[in-house]
Amino acid sequence: MESFNVAFPLTKTKIEKKVLKNNWMTKELLKSRNTLRFLTEQYRRDSSLKLKLKMFRKVYLKVLKLSKKKSYLDKIKGATNKQKAMWKTIKGIENKEKKFAEDISKTLKVKDRNFQDNKEIADLICDYFTSIGKEDTSNLTQAVGHCTRFHNQKTFYLNPVTALEIEKIIKSINKKITSGPYGFPYKLIQEVITFIVEPL
């Protein structure tokens, strides 16, 4: 027995608590997910549970969405650099979506021909979208006169806006106003407006 204790001494082991991968997936949501799986299995045997399953799934998805939203907002609010935390969160969500997108077949079929080369696929898509406008407009009948002739008190009509008007409005905005949702300062936009006003 003494030789056994020497060969296999007693050691203390720390059992780590299971950490949830996603902060928004609470214990209650995990229980609800298991209940949803159970109801789905029961529905396959008993079709009368259809309404109950539908209602439970609707509530579960709504609570799950709110939990995700709260988790992301708490992460951004708790960060010292909020803009950096916001973009990091967005990037994390996009990366998750990209993983799902990787499973999609990268083959494009055009006129009974399959294309797998990324450059060829990009060129085909580019050609399609650059030519579709000309093809569609060639079939349209030519309008007589300007559209303003149909304008009256009962119609909703917006006058065309010129690049000069857009530039004038943006330059009139107070530079001290806080950045917009994308984090671009108005001062920066006012500096480069002459270069980007045409596409706007």
Q: What confidence score (pLDDT) does residue 59 get? A: 92
Q: How far apart are CA 167 and CA 21, in angstroms?
A: 48
pTM above 0.75, yes or no: no
The predicted pLDDT at position 144 comes to 59
- Domain of 185 in residue numbering reads as 158-200
My answer on whether 73 and 35 are in the same domain is yes
Residue ranges in the chain modelled with pLDDT below 50: 103
User: Would residue 21 count as lying in a domain?
Assistant: no
Asked whether residue 40 is domain-assigned, the answer is yes
pLDDT digits (tens, 9 = 90+) for 159-170: 778 888 888 888
**Are both 85 and 36 inside the same structural domain?**
yes
Both 31 and 97 in one domain: the answer is yes
Instruction: Say how many domains are in the chain.
Output: 3
Residues 93 and 32 in one domain: yes
**Which residues are paired to 179 by β-bridges?**
none
Same domain (yes/no): 37, 97: yes
